[in-house]
Amino acid sequence: MSQIFQRYNGIQGADDTVSQGLNTLFIVMDCCGVSPVSPFANDFQLLRTNYWINVGMRGPNTIPYSCCREATLDNYKFGQNLACTVAQQAPLVRPRGCYEAFRQLATDVSTGAIVILVIVMVTELLAVMSAIIMVRAIDREKNNTLDPSNPKMYRGREIPLPDSKPR
């Protein structure tokens, strides 16, 4: 995640898919950076992202606006709040890093995912067993009806004998 994060270019004019994806991730997952942002350091600075290196594009901001709680998918490209992006005031900044957000998401859905996987596996196992039973039954019936020595061969199908002609 850190290697992908280093390619982050910011929000203003960021047309690359990595930056757009990370901005969307910040907003949807309510996170910022790989690890939580602190007033003393952040991943944009520590990982030497393109956003941090390009001072002309970021200006005085130390974190992008997409890391602010008030940012939405509609306004993150052009919004501005210096109390959040420069001063990084705690109530305004997204509180956790994205690594923690992913870990929490995996923990939350793991029980449900395990239950669904077990149900799917049991269903597939029953389907395979049913198919095997059906194939064996069809094969057995086919073998019984084609065997001329089998007394059941003609059961249910009477063969009319030729009528004798009255004279």
pLDDT class of 119 with cuts at 50, 70, 90: very high
Strands (E) across the chain are located at: none
Listed ranges 75-89, 120-134, 137-151; the one with the highest mean pLDDT: 120-134
Distance CA 30, CA 75 (A): 15
Structure tokens at 30: 């309510």
Average pLDDT, the chain: 79
pLDDT bucket at 164, cuts 50 / 70 / 90: low
For residues 75, 81, 86, 88, the Cα torsion angle rounded to the nearest 10 degrees is -90
Q: Quick one: tokens of 158?
A: 């009477």
Q: What is the pLDDT of residues 11-39, one digit of tens each?
A: 765 577 888 888 888 889 888 888 777 76
- Position 101 scores a pLDDT of 86
Structural domain spans, the chain = 2-96, 110-152
Give the pLDDT confidence score for residue 106 in this predicted structure: 83
